[in-house]
Structure 1
Amino acid sequence: MNEAGCVAREPWELSFLAEPREVAGLRRVVRLHLKMWGLSRQTETAQLCVTEMVTQVIRRAGIGIPVSLSLPMKGTFLRVEVRVLGEYGAPMPASSRANDQEAVAELLLGSYAERWGTREGPGFKTTWCEIATGLTTPHGHGGGVRVTRAEAMISLYEAASAHGARMTRLTPVTATRVVI
């Protein structure tokens, strides 16, 4: 949490070599990271997306190539990105693909994530997906309307006390205790 009481969700990245044995470790790291961010409800979906994307990299690009996993926030969505250094085949629409495993993987990714896609540049390719978090703001939480109102009230009292305004009914500490 930062000084404003919001969860700091700074982009996070991990480099690794594409190896089947790495997938279990990546799933654990994603779980721990999302727990620190207060996004435990998104853990299973994020883990499934990471598994599918890394598995596709291994199938298409091969074992042992440099890959990175990144977890940035995009607005109120959790974005999961798997970036490969070098060239490998872009996904094709499932209807034109002969490989049933790839079609199933893309259908799974599409059903778990709100949206997904690929981005290519010189010497890299990124496959990404975005997962809904239920957050009201990118650095807030998914506590709903009541929690958002409570945060607003606490912020109002904190701002007023910081500017020397006299609090007649509630102090920020009392307001915090009442809200909690």
Structure 2
Amino acid sequence: MRPFTVGLLATPKAVPELRLAVREHLGRPCPELQLCVTELLTNVITHVGEGTPVTLRISGRATRLRVELTDPDPQARPALRRAAATDESGRGLALLDAVTVRWGVARGDGTKTVWCEL
């Protein structure tokens, strides 16, 4: 697979547009990858702020894909939590954890990258 990189602003409107761009890049649906992209971008919107500039990168091979979403807030560190049945949010990283081989967070100079591998 050829690498895919796109810079965008983290907004609710960008979520379905990014899912579509990923699908078009792959040339086929990939529900797990599209779910990961959705959850990573939604976490930035929710926890860093709407309108935050981010960069999405997808690389790898058919047997293993790596997704990275970089934002400019190294302090906002995502943490896996277990949402109660009545909670309206808080399941994003649990979904990511369920569909990926592994995931993590890397801090850079003034940035944070949340990544996962499928």
Per the normalisation by structure 1, the TM-score is 0.58
SS at match of 2:66: strand
**Counterpart Cα distance in 2 of 1:108 and 1:85:** 24
RMSD: 1.8
- The aligned residue for residue 54 of structure 1 is 41
Instruction: Rate the CA distance shift 1:55–1:88 in 2: closer, same or farther, 3 A.
Output: farther
Q: What is the 5 A alignment of 1:152-163?
A: none
* Fraction of identical pairs, as percent: 39
- The aligned residue for residue 20 of structure 1 is 12
The structure that is helix-richer by fraction is 1
- The aligned residue for residue 162 of structure 1 is none
Q: Indicate the structure whose relative CO is greater, using CA pairs within 8 Å and at least 6 residues apart.
A: 2
Give the gaps of 5 or more residues in structure 1: 1-8, 132-180
The structure that is strand-richer by fraction is 2
Q: Which has the larger radius of gyration?
A: 1
Please state if 1:118 is matched with 2:110: no
Q: What is the 5 A alignment of 1:12-161?
A: 12-35=4-27, 40=28, 43-73=30-60, 76-94=63-81, 101-102=89-90, 104-131=91-118
- The aligned residue for residue 167 of structure 1 is none
1:85 CA displacement: 2.1
Per the normalisation by structure 2, the TM-score is 0.86
SS at match of 1:72: strand
